[in-house]
């Protein structure tokens, strides 16, 4: 007679956890504040066994939880920990706890590697360094800032540019017309819908960026030692080019490498022009980079985010800053690197776990069915994105000063 196993996670969950720990040992993480590892261990439910699949995401949001439940994934690997501090209760009134409770109910576990991925050789920091040292087809494209007084063609009033996300009255849904609405003020401008970087993998077959092909030296900013087999690990990377690189070229490489966003913040010292700036060294850190990059002597700081005062302090020292909105410095790594590494390692680990479990005694029929399933699937979430998108003011005269 089959029994409901409440004290064990599924065997596939065990294989996923061991795979992640092989690739990114928790000892690499910054344990002074981070919370990495298996954060939610869901019990195996033989009645509604999940697929042998893993969903990769940067943030475990409600939308991602919905996606995992619909897909019947076994494990969500969420780069950012959804649990940072001790919990005194688990209730449905808290949206994050609600996601955890719903996932547990469905038998879906959650693992978070976070700064272990940042520090690992070939991990997130090296991926960003590979992008900034990449090369676009020769010659690399010239990049120019807008010239003062430049204008764009402005469509006739009531028209909207294709793909702008603005609807003309004739395009409004029929049911909207039936509802009495207050008159809307005339819109003199057209705004795009919020845009986000694509999830396109950065590999040779899908982008023209040839990663890590410009001559340079690379060092770890804050080394992590004592983890066997992971020599050279640590937080952040300092890239020094053999020859100075135009800042405009680095902007192009970064845009290609992280999914061609419509734009991202760039800070330069006052009195400088983007086209004239040459970069010899780059400090690189994913996410919120201040703790890693503070005190780093580099011409350019490349990270996910810096505060206003941190960026201002950098430009006052003569440094340039490129930020991508926090998670846009991390998300592309999932599809470009982690998906492939985890798939390869997980296939080996799942085979090992299946053999070990098969040698066990008194296996239930449901447990035997679970370990007979040879499938392994790792996918990136289609719902995961940074909270911030870029909204572009279209079809209007340029206002303000061009970047100098």
pTM: 0.83
Token couple for 184: 């809307």
Beta bridge partners of 216: 241
DSSP strand E in 233-305: where?
Answer: 234-246, 266-267, 278-288, 300-305
- pLDDT of 230 reads 97
- pLDDT of 176 reads 46
Q: Could you tell me if 274 and 316 are in contact, meaning their C-beta atoms sit under 8 angstroms apart?
A: no
For residues 269 and 254, give the distance between their C-alpha atoms in angstroms, rounded to a whole number.
20
Tens of pLDDT, residue by residue, the chain (404 residues): 444 556 889 999 999 999 999 999 999 999 899 999 999 999 998 777 889 999 999 999 999 999 999 999 999 999 999 998 888 899 999 989 999 999 999 999 999 999 999 999 999 999 999 999 998 765 555 555 555 444 444 343 344 444 444 444 344 444 445 556 666 555 555 666 777 777 655 444 456 778 878 999 999 999 999 999 999 999 999 999 999 999 999 999 999 888 878 889 999 999 999 999 999 999 999 999 999 999 999 999 999 999 999 999 999 999 999 999 999 999 999 999 999 999 999 999 999 999 998 887 778 888 888 888 899 999 999 999 999 888 877 665 555 555 45
DSSP strand E in 255-350: where?
Answer: 266-267, 278-288, 300-305, 320-323
């Amino acid at each position: 007679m089959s029994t409901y196993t409440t004290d064990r996670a599924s065997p596939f969950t065990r294989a996923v956890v061991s795979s992640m720990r092989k690739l990114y040992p928790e000892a690499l993480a910054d344990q002074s504040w981070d919370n990495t590892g298996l954060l939610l261990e869901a019990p195996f439910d033989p009645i509604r066994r999940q697929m042998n699949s893993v969903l990769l995401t940067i943030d475990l949001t409600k939308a991602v939880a919905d996606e995992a439940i619909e897909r019947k994934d076994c494990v969500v690997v969420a780069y950012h920990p959804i649990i940072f501090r001790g919990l005194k209760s688990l209730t449905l009134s808290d949206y994050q706890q609600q996601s955890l409770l719903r996932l547990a109910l469905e038998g879906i576990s959650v693992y978070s590697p976070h700064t272990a991925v940042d520090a690992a050789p070939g991990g997130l920091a090296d991926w960003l360094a590979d992008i900034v040292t990449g090369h676009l087809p020769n010659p690399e494209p010239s990049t120019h800032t807008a010239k003062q007084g430049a204008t764009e063609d402005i469509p006739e009033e009531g028209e909207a540019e294709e793909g702008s996300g603005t609807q003309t009255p004739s395009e409004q849904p029929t049911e909207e017309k039936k509802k009495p609405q207050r008159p809307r003020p005339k819109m003199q401008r057209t705004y795009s819908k919020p845009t986000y970087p694509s999830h396109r993998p950065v590999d040779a077959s899908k982008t023209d960026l040839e990663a890590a092909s410009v001559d340079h030296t690379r060092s770890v900013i804050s080394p992590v030692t004592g983890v066997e087999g992971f020599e050279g690990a640590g937080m952040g990377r300092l890239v020094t080019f053999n020859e100075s690189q135009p800042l405009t070229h680095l902007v192009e490489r970064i845009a290609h490498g992280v999914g061609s966003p419509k734009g991202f913040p760039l800070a330069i010292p006052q009195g400088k022009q983007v086209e004239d700036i040459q970069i010899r060294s780059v400090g690189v850190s994913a996410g919120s980079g201040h703790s890693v990059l503070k005190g780093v002597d580099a011409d350019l700081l490349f990270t996910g985010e810096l505060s206003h005062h941190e960026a201002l302090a950098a430009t006052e020292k003569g440094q340039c800053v490129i930020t991508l909105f926090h998670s846009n410095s991390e998300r592309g790594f999932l599809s470009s690197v982690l998906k492939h590494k985890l798939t390869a390692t997980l296939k080996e680990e799942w085979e090992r776990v299946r053999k070990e479990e098969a040698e066990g005694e008194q296996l239930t029929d449901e447990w035997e069915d679970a370990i007979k399933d040879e499938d392994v699937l790792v996918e990136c979430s289609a719902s995961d994105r940074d909270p911030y998108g870029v909204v572009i003011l279209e079809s209007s005269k340029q206002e303000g000063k061009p970047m100098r």
